[in-house]
Amino acid sequence: MRYIAVGADKTLEDTQKVLDRYFAHQEKYGFSKWAVVLRETGEVIGDSGLLLVEDGPDFDLGYRLAREYWGKGFATECGCAWVEAAFSRFGLERVVAFAHPGNTASIRVMTKLGMRFERRSRFYGMDSVLYSISRGTYVRPDDSR
């Protein structure tokens, strides 16, 4: 969780607040962060989805996975599904994603999705790099990479 701006939840109440925020976002926009479930076992291995960026107007693509599932293509698979849904199902024109500059794995996922570096900034109090993609430039990544 070192690259997550808000860090890990410290209490059950903190987790409930996050879930309440996800539920409210889901109700308002029809999407939010959803659980990432391993098909073979049904185990929840993380979360992924789109949330309105603080101060809007963009929607942020996020993905967090348990450490043992890093480097196995799950973040790219989730990201691809969400970006595709953003443009084809939810009618968004643009999706952004941000990461700590040291989080090279997350930045690699963003570039695999066709996102391009836009700028350095601060998001949720964390120095970040912002990447974006628009509906007109999105091309589904080659799954064989």
pLDDT tens per residue, range 8-19: 556 888 778 878
Q: Is the pLDDT of residue 53 over 50?
A: yes
Total number of domains constituting the chain = 1
**pTM score > 0.85 for this model?**
no
Which tokens go with 88?
Answer: 């084809």
CA 102 to chain centre: 17
Residue 99, in any domain of the structure: yes
Residue 1, in any domain of the structure: no
Query: pLDDT confidence of 107, banded at 50, 70, 90?
Result: very high
Residue 104, in any domain of the structure: yes
Characterize the bridge pairing of strands 94-99 and 59-65.
parallel
Domain that holds residue 128: 12-137
Query: pLDDT confidence of 136, banded at 50, 70, 90?
Result: confident
Characterize the bridge pairing of strands 44-52 and 59-65.
antiparallel
**CATH number of the domain bearing residue 121:** 3.40.630.30
pLDDT number for residue 27: 93
